Amino acid sequence: MGKNRRKHGNYKEKKAFTSPGTLVYVGKEVAENTLIKLVEFNEQFYHEKTIKDLSNCKPPIKENEVLWLDVEGVHEVPVVAAVGRHYNLHPLLQEDILNTEQKPKLEHFGDKHLFTVLKMLQFNPELNQIESEHVALILGENYVLTFQEVHKSDVFAPIFTRLNASIGKTRKGKADYLYYSFCDLIVDNYFVVLEKFGEKLEELEVKIIERPEASDQTLLYRFKRELMTIRKVTLPLRDMFGTLIREDSPLIQANTNIYMRDVYDHILQILDTIDTYREMIENIHNIYLTSISNKMNSVMKTLTVFTAIFMPLTFIAGIYGMNFDNMPELHHHNGYFYTLGLMVVITIGLWIYFKWKKYV
């Protein structure tokens, strides 16, 4: 929406003092314009277009077709407000859409809307870190509204591909099946992120076993924070979808509810995997501490061996370094060479002894 283009910062302070239902964007600064796509389809028909005029956000919805409105970028408040007016969305619902820091939630707005906030997790290979994106889903009787935090993030690209190619049941299903497809896509992507996370964790474990370094502990704490982030956005989903499959929502058909149970099972698997990785991090940390301790013990043992070797040499040098007149050895013609020879013999003898005892 070109005329509404502006940079938006984080308005936490402003948000804290506003009344409930006040539409204020809360999130990172965004420079791009909001992009709105409208998709209409059924089993035989598919049409996709980009919305330029906000008045065209809600065309006449035909009974035998499903409408999907995808809003990429929630930083432009007028755009969200316009969509809210067209689809009669509650002000509190619009408020949660604009708040990119809103935790995952599921809320029923009567028989009209089923509102869901999720976090899309993706692994950024360039930054080598996990990124989270705010996603809001609204299920109506025969339409689905999606709101993405990041412009052109391609979160729902696989859904566009399925609909356009008429692959699977997405084109054949109703709006509730399209809503399930979004939930399934987001949850399944958690497995991809966890797989990348597990690979990095295993690489660190091998490195720590072979050659532990001080920087490894910092990396472990970073992994621990990332895992806590994944758990924080996944844990609420267990209660959300558990409630959804137990309650009979008029917007979700019985045959689609079976698929929602599959999403719930995936969430439980993800939580189990997270717990496994938490234990793995603790074990790796213990391995790190043990490796560092063993390395320190090895260094101390080496220093002790060298100290033990040099103690008799220091003793001999100290004896003959005293300035007494009555020391016959000091006047011996070959005393210096005999003393050096004795030191060499003692050094070799002690080194052989420590080798035999496997101290070095």
Number of structural domains found in the chain: 2
Among the listed residues 17, 72, 3, the one whose alpha carbon sits nearest the alpha carbon of residue 39: 72
Residue with tokens 């004795």: 342
- Overall average pLDDT of the 23-30 stretch: 85
Instruction: Give the lowest-confidence range in 68-72, 195-199, 354-358.
Output: 354-358
CB-based contacts of 265, cutoff 8 Å, min separation 6: none
From 289, 314, 339, the end of a domain falls on: 289
Are both 241 and 315 inside the same structural domain? no
CATH number at residue 339: 1.20.58.340
Q: Tell me the CA distances in angstroms from 46 to 39, 42, 91, 100, 329, one per residue in order.
A: 7, 7, 32, 31, 108
**Domain span holding position 198:** 2-289
Are both 226 and 122 inside the same structural domain? yes
* Assigned token pair, 275: 């717990």
pTM (2 d.p.): 0.80
Are both 160 and 171 inside the same structural domain? yes
d(CA 59, CA 55): 9
Among the listed residues 136, 159, 160, the one whose alpha carbon sits nearest the alpha carbon of residue 73: 136
d(CA 243, CA 237): 10
Write the pLDDT tens digit of every residue in 176-215: 999 999 999 999 999 999 999 999 999 999 988 888 888 8
Are both 207 and 328 inside the same structural domain? no
pLDDT for position 68: 93
CATH number at residue 110: 3.30.460.20
pLDDT for position 2: 44
Are both 279 and 298 inside the same structural domain? no
3-state secondary structure 201-229: HHHHHHHHHHCCCHHHHHHHHHHHHHHHH
From 233, 255, 289, the end of a domain falls on: 289
From 261, 289, 317, the end of a domain falls on: 289
